[in-house]
Amino acid sequence: MDATTAPHRIPPEMPQYGEENHVFEMMQAMLEQLLIHKPPDPIPFLISHLQQNNDNVPRIVILGPPASGKTTIAMWLCKHLSSNLITMDSLVAKEFPFLPAAAQAYYQKNKQVPNLLLIRMIRRRLAQEDCVQRGWILDGIPETRDQTLMIQTCGISPRHVIVLSAPDTVLIERNLGKRIDPKTGEIYHTTFDWPPDFEIQSRLQIPEGISELETAQRLLEYHRNIVRVIPSYPRILKVISADQPCVDVFYQALTFVQSNRRSNAPFTPRVLLCGPRGSGKSLQAALLAQKYGLVNICCGQLLKETVADQSKLGEVIQDYLEKHWTVPDSIIMKMLSQRLSQQDCLQRGWVLHGFPRDLDQAHLLASTGHKPNRVFFLNVPFDSVMERLTLRRTDPVTGERYHLMYKPPPTMEVQGRLLQNPKDSEEQVKLKVDLYYRSSAELERFYGEAITLNGDQDPYTVFEYIESGIINPLPKKVP
């Protein structure tokens, strides 16, 4: 773009397309791959990367002390996510026949392999087609800071890192109860997971290295290493207590790995607030506009402003208002489109309330290209709406607004002259609420990614929920 033509008139469809298709994240991922691999010819490399279409497959590391249950959680995640479980034993079992004799002897003695050889095996395994297409879960790797740095240096970057934690006394007790089936390799426990089959019970054996002293030594080694591994994953790491039922640990881990990270993409909020009269849309819109600098667009207020401008469109709207007729959707949409296309809305974003009220209006709004990227439905019980609206009063002398329950007038004199807006009568409120709820189900289906909130609570609590919904990334469509 030519800098001399600023401010640039960017069509609203451009940022909308970028957000919906995650263009920024895609470009960021490609740049990361270029910097990691430094291919001699970047274009074919990027084409190959895009064809793999695997930016969102699981890439998970699960760490934890002995007996924390990390292998069990890794196996369950692997089955749930249809991914590939990679352990030290599985790597060695696959590569053992091809290892040098010295490496075989080293592994048989120490149950470990040299770091360089381990990283080489991991790279080969992760480059295979099943890992590329379905992702991977590393169980207990990396163990040390040296392994962590080597993994990062060769471009292996997990998206989620889980660290299980539990008191050493609990872990030692768990480890002492372990039993292994030599026939199947399944691990059981004398307290938590004893097999019902007597034949399996009779052949269970005590694994090597689970005595109290050996477990304590392994725990000491783990604690020395894990404090140097954790700082390498500052934004993608979650510590989960393993001192709880295994199912609870699994669901916490699953929730974490299925969450999206905060996006660094440039983001212009286009917020739509839906709800019946009295649900607090105006207050929430004002709070959002104040904190984030959004343009606060109330459809009813915009009608009055358009009439006051004495434009041709305002004259048309004034005719309808003077005759107490409903302004047609097409005219409202023309007015809204003009306002949403102005430079302040395109640059700062907007929060809209009062429109759309039904499915036809929602289709009209979408057809103009002004599609909201955050939609909130504020649900408030009918009794609460009646309480909020029918008890509102206005002082005709001072213009001050009161509420007979929440903000009563200061004196009997003021109370005696208070007037009620005809729109706040019980009949009018009931009519408006009924009309809203007749269309709300269709609107919620139309805005499938909308967030529904309980609006019948402290307004600042509602605002915090809305705020979290704006900050969190847009859900990604599952292919």
At residue 386, does pLDDT exceed 80? yes
8 A C-beta contact, residue 30 and residue 107: no
Total Cβ atoms within 10 A of residue 231: 10
Helix (H) or strand (E) run with residue 189 in it: strand 187-189
Cβ partners under 8 Å of residue 416, min gap 6 = none
Which whole number is the average pLDDT over 268-277? Answer: 91
Q: In the block, which residue shows the tokens 């991922």?
A: 29
Reply yes or no on domain 270-471 having CATH 3.30.70.100.
no
Entry field: residues in the chain: 479
* Three-state SS at 103: helix
Total Cβ atoms within 10 A of residue 450: 18
- Cα–Cα distance for residue pair 373/268, rounded to 1 Å: 9
pLDDT at 378 (0 to 100):
93
Rg (CA), the chain: 31
pLDDT at 90 (0 to 100):
83
Which whole number is the average pLDDT over 349-366? Answer: 92
- Cα–Cα distance for residue pair 197/206, rounded to 1 Å: 18
Lowest mean pLDDT among 22-36, 160-174, 282-296: 22-36
pTM: 0.60
List pLDDT tens digits, range 420-453. Answer: 988 888 888 898 888 888 888 899 999 988 899 9
Distances (CA, A) of 70 to 162, 168, 250, 321, 323: 9, 15, 10, 67, 72
8 A C-beta contact, residue 172 and residue 218: no
Which whole number is the average pLDDT over 380-401? Answer: 90
CATH homologous superfamily for the domain 56-257: P-loop containing nucleotide triphosphate hydrolases (3.40.50.300)
Scored b (16 or more CB within 10 A) or e, 278-298 reads: bbbbbebbebbbeeeebbbbb
* pLDDT confidence band for 102 (50 / 70 / 90): low
Lowest mean pLDDT among 9-18, 72-81, 408-417, 447-456: 9-18
Q: Domain segments of the chain: what residues?
A: 56-257, 270-471
**What residue spans of 177-295 are helical by DSSP H?**
198-203, 212-229, 246-257, 281-292
pLDDT at 478 (0 to 100):
39
At residue 370, does pLDDT exceed 50? yes
Percentage, residues of the chain above pLDDT 70: 90
- Nearest CA among 92, 148, 76, 171 for reference residue 124: 92
At residue 201, does pLDDT exceed 60? yes
At residue 474, does pLDDT exceed 60? no
- Cα–Cα distance for residue pair 151/156, rounded to 1 Å: 6
Helix (H) or strand (E) run with residue 295 in it: strand 295-298
Domains 56-257 and 270-471 share a fold: yes
